[in-house]
Amino acid sequence: MRVLVIGGGGREHALVWKISQSPEVTEIFCAPGNTGTAELANNVPIPADHIDQLLAFALENKIGLTVVGPEQPLVMGIVDQFQEKGLRIFGPTARAAELEGSKVFSKNIMKKYELPTAEYEIFTSHEKAREYFNKETGPRVVKASGLAAGKGVILCCNAEEGRNAVDLIMQDKSFGEAGDEVVIEEFLEGQEVSVLAFTDGNSVLLMDSAQDHKAAWDGDQGPNTGGMGAYSPAPVFTDTMRQLVRDKIMFPLISAMKVEGRPYQGILYAGLMLTKLGPKTLEFNVRFGDPETQPLLVRMESDIVPLFEACIDGTLDQCELKWKQEPSVCVVMAAKGYPGSYEKGKEILGLDEAGALSDVVVFHAGTKGEEDKVLTNGGRVLGVTATGVDTPAAISKAYEAVSKIQWDGIHYRKDIGAREQVK
């Protein structure tokens, strides 16, 4: 079977890496891919949001399965267009992908079907959103409703910070049209955990847990990013909690989407806060998380391709997922200045030395090849991922690999996995 993976980040490199291990696969293409995917797949110079070109490529090259990495093409309706042409593609339709495309839609679905989530209000008026903070002075979370590459969420400690966040999103348009509507939520306290599940629209098969590190700097300080690292599993996510999340959040949402006439197939990602009152949903995403995918896939024993196909065919209830016991850690190496402005084109050294370490995989995210050099080409550049007999061993291996990689302007957190250490 020929497989096309759409996207060019660390998540897509991890998907290509995992898919390449399947005996069902004869050839892999990745559009647009990066320097890492080029070692395992044929990179295709088509951007992930150029759906017409991707469709033409899939038809011409007799692609048997397409796997979509990023959220944007899903929200744009790539699944609908591929399905109309009889192509097999893994991911939700545009109507189902609105779960991520609109936080307003997502919150309203959760409220309608009584899924546990933070209390919230929705605003389309900049002035009224600012006025909200005349009466609410405590910590709040301000979110751009639309797609903002994981950066449209601002944690505010007081009313002044809240008004500044509203100005940034709705007046300054820092996230473009994504900020035409905002959601202002109560501030939930607890540990955050990422839970991803395969679903065929009827059955739900949960993956193992992971914890992401969203903040740019050590100690969970600084602005939110797309993710600075992750580890799996998250010990705080117990078997009891897992069953609760499946029965009270994941399965009810899938059932709700079916009732709404938006049947959901693909990966369902729930960002959860484990509060004193139980798990509450922070957000739903409609694709694999990045960087959670990297530590998850290095631990997955099962062949991933039959799972993709079962979700498409509606036979997921016949599948099971097997996991390696060894924990894993992914450290994101980013460009200086990320998630703000940053420079590209810096030569990366030490990749071979890092990749040669046992139980280490260096996943590329924002990289490109130029002659015999590998250059930085994004904010998040690499996801250095390691497994170990326990989490401290995995952390040690990951940072040993990180220490061998160099370029001008490296930025990475030095405390990935530290939450697990203080349990």
pLDDT category of residue 263 using cuts at 50, 70 and 90: very high
Homologous superfamily (CATH) for 191-318: ATP-grasp fold, B domain (3.30.470.20)
CATH no., domain 2-94: 3.40.50.20
If you search the block for the tokens 């998250």, which residue do you land on? 234
CATH no., domain 328-421: 3.90.600.10
Q: Reply yes or no: is the peptide bond before residue 92 cis, omega within 30 of 0.
A: no
The pLDDT, as a whole number, for residue 126 is 95
Residue 152 has pLDDT above 50, yes or no: yes
The pLDDT, as a whole number, for residue 151 is 77
Residue 345 has pLDDT above 70, yes or no: yes
CATH no., domain 119-186: 3.30.1490.20
Outline where DSSP puts E strands in 8-137.
27-32, 42-43, 65-68, 89-90, 120-123
Mean pLDDT of 123-138: 92
pLDDT category of residue 381 using cuts at 50, 70 and 90: very high
The pLDDT, as a whole number, for residue 421 is 52
Residue 156 has pLDDT above 90, yes or no: yes
Q: How far is CA 74 from CA 69, 94, 246, in A?
A: 9, 6, 24
Mean pLDDT of 296-321: 97
pLDDT category of residue 423 using cuts at 50, 70 and 90: very low
Question: Domain residue spans in the chain?
Answer: 2-94, 119-186, 191-318, 328-421
Residue 419 has pLDDT above 80, yes or no: no
Residue 243 has pLDDT above 90, yes or no: yes
Q: Is 64 left (phi over 0), alpha (psi -120 to 50) or beta?
A: alpha
The pLDDT, as a whole number, for residue 422 is 45
Q: Per residue in 164-181, pLDDT tens?
A: 999 999 999 999 999 999
- Which pTM does this prediction carry? 0.94
Mean pLDDT of 385-403: 97
